[in-house]
Amino acid sequence: MVYLPKEEGQGLAEYGLILVLIAVVIVVALMLIGPQIADMYQRFLDAFPG
């Protein structure tokens, strides 16, 4: 009989690291694209004075 250690904690840590990586990618993308989105939104608002 072969004893295999439980890897539940390791799996949970890996999911956590993946979520952190996704969050970092989203933050960086928003930092890079943010000014362009703000400019586009401002042009949209300027097109409809009111």
Model confidence, pTM: 0.61
Structure tokens at 16: 């956590």
pLDDT of residue 11: 84
pLDDT of residue 49: 81
Q: Output the 3-class SS for 14-32.
A: HHHHHHHHHHHHHHHHHHH
- Would you write out the chain's pLDDT as a tens digit for each of its 50 residues? 777 666 666 788 899 999 999 999 999 999 999 999 999 999 999 999 86
pLDDT of residue 12: 87
pLDDT of residue 3: 72
